[in-house]
Amino acid sequence: MITIDVFSDPICPWCYIGKKRLDQALAARPDLPIAVRWRAFQLNPDMPRDGMDRQSYLSAKFSGADRASEVYGQIQRVGAQVGIDFQFDKIPRTPSTLNAHRLIRYAQRPGVEKADGLMPALFQAYFIDGKDIGDVAVLLDIAQAVGLDRPAVQEYLNSREDEDEVQAEDVFARRLGIGGVPCFIIDGKYALSGAQEPEAFLPLLDMAVQEQTAGQSSVEG
């Protein structure tokens, strides 16, 4: 089994693009046994829990609307190449993603295992539908739509369970030297930073398979 740890944030447009490109890479290696683990990285770890006005956020981050428009125009063009129709104008607020990361963590629990459906649903909700994925009610709707038990998720999100774990994972990523996302770590050995083209994943996947096969052969021998 090849494990791919993906450090990402569901409000990161490059992470959405990166997921699409990872999917394309895995489609080119359909026989590989792959386990994808989504790991927490918060673009804005100090964001207030109720988020902030998006235009104010962009103006502060990019020192003006013109620069923000230029950056997001480029992202829209790249997104279109992988089938994403970014609707940035629909997004009224930039949310805190603490609860979204908690939900991702919940969805990866043994016996739950709904993260494969949850991640694209979170990206869709934020970037296409313009929903506030910092809002617990929105997260509950998304969770239910991908097959999670709504009352159980509501109880979980209304608690503070896994908050420390999410924050600790974010700190861990930064200590690894991850300063931006997406970042893909393949089999705990090979790191690929950014929304790379699908072809960039393939040699790393192939090396991971070769090393696992060689290790098994040496044990059997």
Supply the mean pLDDT for the chain: 95
Residue with tokens 């040699």: 203
When pLDDT is cut at 50, 70 and 90, the band that residue 213 belongs to is: confident
pLDDT at 50: 95
Domain residue limits at 117: 2-220
When pLDDT is cut at 50, 70 and 90, the band that residue 187 belongs to is: very high
Identify the CATH number of the domain in which residue 165 sits. Answer: 3.40.30.10
The answer to whether residue 31 scores a pLDDT higher than 60 is yes
**Alpha carbon distance 50, 44 (integer Å):** 13
**Alpha carbon distance 43, 142 (integer Å):** 21
Q: What percent of the chain has a predicted confidence (pLDDT) above 70?
A: 97
The per-residue pLDDT for range 143-184, each reduced to its tens digit, is 999 999 999 999 999 999 999 999 999 999 999 999 999 999
Taking each helix axis from N to C terminus, what angle separates 98-107 and 150-158, rounded to the nearest 10 degrees?
Answer: 130
The pTM of the whole model exceeds 0.85: yes
Tell me how crowded residue 147 is: count the other CB atoms within 10 A of its CB. 12
Sign of CA dihedral 31, 37, 41, 42: positive
Total tally of structural domains belonging to the chain: 1
The answer to whether residue 188 scores a pLDDT higher than 80 is yes
The whole-number average pLDDT for the span 46-55 is: 95
The per-residue pLDDT for range 59-92, each reduced to its tens digit, is 899 988 889 999 999 999 999 999 999 999 999 9
Choose the weakest-confidence range: 57-71, 106-120, 186-200.
57-71
The answer to whether residue 220 scores a pLDDT higher than 80 is no
pLDDT at 48: 96
The answer to whether residue 218 scores a pLDDT higher than 60 is no
The answer to whether residue 133 scores a pLDDT higher than 70 is yes
> What DSSP letter does each residue of 37-62 carry, written as one string?
EEEE--S-TT--TT-EEHHHHHHHHH
